[in-house]
Amino acid sequence: MVEGKIGNNHEPSNMNVNGNSNTVRKSHPTQPNISINLGVSGDQRTKGYSGFEESIPMSGRSSDILSGDIFGVSPIRVPKSGNLNGMHIRKNGLRDNWDDEDGYYKYHLGEVLGGRYRITAGYGKGVFSTVVQAKDLKAGKNDPEEVAIKIICNDDTKERYKSGKREASVLEKLSNADREDRRHCVRFISSFMYRDHPCLVLESLHMNLREVIKKFGRDIGLKLTAVRTYSKQLFNALKHLKCCSILHCDIKPDNILVNGSKSLLKLCDFGSALSAGRNDITPVLVSRFYRAPEIILGLPYDHALDMWSVGCCLFELYTGKILFPGGTNNGMLWLHMELKGPFPKKMLRKGAFTSQHFDHELNFHVTDENLMMKKAVNKLLMNFKSKGVGSKISSFPGEDLKLLSRFKDLLEKIFVLDPEKRLTVSQALGHPFITGE
């Protein structure tokens, strides 16, 4: 694959998923792949030990966020309001029957939203919204004719409604700070109200990275040169977030979109985004497999949490495997230590939730039922030694071994348990894997 100019411009690269020589698809190894048993398959859509798939509303965050992406199928059920002869009842009385019982708007193909956008296809449901593809009937000369519209749910609690309004504010801030559209965050076009639903008009992109992995890298991942291209663009997106003092808080392959040629990547779904600074301590922020250890332990968090999530995505892109497929937060910590060794005691002493996973002497306490079933668990608890991410990555025929070594080094620096010592975005952009120097 020949890399084009990326990062701070949108000139297309020669990344081609269908060609023979320039492809994101790996060749299968001629010898057994030593990473074949690592984690779970990337196309199993964030399912853990028990095959869960769950999400939460913005406030409270009483369970894990695992399917909050705008193209995912919503796995949750919002408490139902009453019904009368098929009509939805709210506290303020009878409402028009254009919403389903969970507050999702029931659109129709060909329907025109806001007097301007004709629905041409449906993308699916997320936790907070329904997303459709639409044609802009009033598109100007320089306006995109095809757009994506995120129709925010309108439920009785109004929490998803408020989340949608917050997301619109975040998207507008990011877009206003990127007038030339060079920072790899999905483009916000406009917003409007339609039948009590906030609607966000966004640029329309082809597919998400979960789908890319499933289609072109199932079980073995993508070529390293493709991963390198995507890495640089993701780091540029993180740089833009940091400049705007925004934490994404839910980076995962589902929330990263690519264009039709697979050469351009953009971060999307800012429904869980927060302003950087002092935020509520919660152990369920970020989708579990991509959740940084400081979140689980209850430490203050900053931009380092998004860097950890990006590292998980990069590993998954190259291997086709989820690095930390923990079924619970307790299981996640186990996997973190299994790979990177024990946590610094100084870090554990500061955690608001440390006592949920460690005893008073800071010994790890297993509560995950799947871990309890492992016969050797007690022995392993006493022998946590850092294996390093490199132990989970093998080379493939024709792979540049020097580039692979640099990729492993990049991941080792990202997966540092202490967020204060984790690789920063400026350091990532200057890493030899990205610069080639």
- State both tokens at 315: 């590993």
End-to-end alpha carbon distance in the chain? 19
Asked if 286 contacts 68 with a C-beta cutoff of 8 angstroms, the reply is no
The H or E element that residue 114 is part of is: none
Q: How far apart are CA 168 and CA 190, in angstroms?
A: 9
* Locus of tokens 């757009």: 147
358 with 348: CB under 8 angstroms?
yes
Could you give the angle at which helices 224-243 and 401-414 cross, rounded to 10 degrees? 30
Check if the beta carbon of residue 83 is closer than 8 Å to that of residue 191: no
Bridge partner list, 88: 83
Nearest 10 degrees: CA dihedral of 403, 406, 407, 413? -170
CA atoms within 13 A on the CB side of 426: 2
Q: Is 302 tagged catalytic?
A: no
User: What SS3 class is residue 73?
Assistant: coil
Residues 6+ apart with CB under 8 A from 195: 96, 98, 105
Tell me which of 136, 250, 254, 269 is the catalytic residue.
250
In sign, the C-alpha dihedral spanning 86, 91, 96, 98 is negative
Q: What is the greatest pairwise CA distance in the chain?
A: 69
Active site residues: 250
